[in-house]
Amino acid sequence: MRVRHPLSCSSTNYQRQGMDRQQEIRIAERARHDPRAFQPLYEAYFEKILGFVYRRVLDQQAAEDLTADTFEKAIRGLDRFRDHGLGVSAWLYRIAHNCVVDYYRWQAKAQIVPLDLAENIPGDAPDPQEHALAQEAQAVRSQQESDLVRAVGSLSEEAQLIISLKYFEQKAHREIAEIVGCSENNLGVKVHRILEKLRQRLEEVSHVNY
């Protein structure tokens, strides 16, 4: 199902590769008076925001709806947009994160960060012994992936957000700090503590399983 478009204008010939921060700011300023001017920003960030949201909710329909909500809220909230040297990127990710938080509050259930780590191991080896070894290896990898998902899922909402932004979205510390709402130095401390806690959780989970 296609995500509902938050704009009523038609597609443009905009090329997202050529947009810099100053261009983003100018577009945002124009869009305050004419929402249709927001179109280039929508086209530039739609796939990124959709991917970010999907990795948080693991549901395609919900991800599409939340992505649409993100851009609708962005357009309605343009008067509150302030550039802190990062263009509109951090602002949009922060709105998307808030939409996800609201979604889970409404769903009243815990969420985990998806981790697509394992690759399928071919199971059609002609040698029965090799086939058995491949199956055993796959089982071990599947268990390790499950352990990592459980360990990350046991972290706080903020910790999961930081992991998602740093390791899946590959955001720089400066932008993550802007999205999370802390200083870069504080973020560095948070990342260190999160990774240490994740290591401990993994050891606990692995000890139980093995």
Q: Hey, what's the torsion of the CAs at 67, 188, 87, 159, to 10 degrees?
A: 10
Residue 69: closest CA among 85, 48, 53, 90: 53
For position 192, what pLDDT does the model report?
Answer: 92
Assigned token pair, 195: 């990774």
Assigned token pair, 62: 């919900």
For position 11, what pLDDT does the model report?
Answer: 38
- Report the domain count for the chain: 2
Q: Is residue 204 part of a domain?
A: yes
Q: Are 57 and 111 in contact (CB under 8 A)?
A: yes
Q: Are 161 and 189 in contact (CB under 8 A)?
A: no
Asked if 133 and 100 sit in the same domain, the reply is no
For position 9, what pLDDT does the model report?
Answer: 41
For position 120, what pLDDT does the model report?
Answer: 43
Asked if 32 and 85 sit in the same domain, the reply is yes
CATH no. for residue 138? Answer: 1.10.10.10
> Domain end: 107, 141, 167, which one?
107
What residues make up the domain containing 101? 16-107
Asked if 68 and 148 sit in the same domain, the reply is no
Asked if 101 and 148 sit in the same domain, the reply is no
Residue with tokens 């090329």: 15
Residues 149 and 195: their CA atoms lie apart, in Å, by 14
For position 150, what pLDDT does the model report?
Answer: 76
> Domain end: 107, 141, 170, which one?
107
For position 111, what pLDDT does the model report?
Answer: 43
Ordered per-residue pLDDT tens for the chain, 210 residues: 344 555 544 333 333 445 777 888 888 889 888 989 999 999 999 999 999 999 888 889 999 999 999 999 999 998 888 877 767 888 899 899 889 888 887 875 444 444 443 344 344 445 555 555 555 555 555 566 667 777 777 888 888 889 888 888 888 998 899 888 889 999 999 999 999 988 888 888 666 555
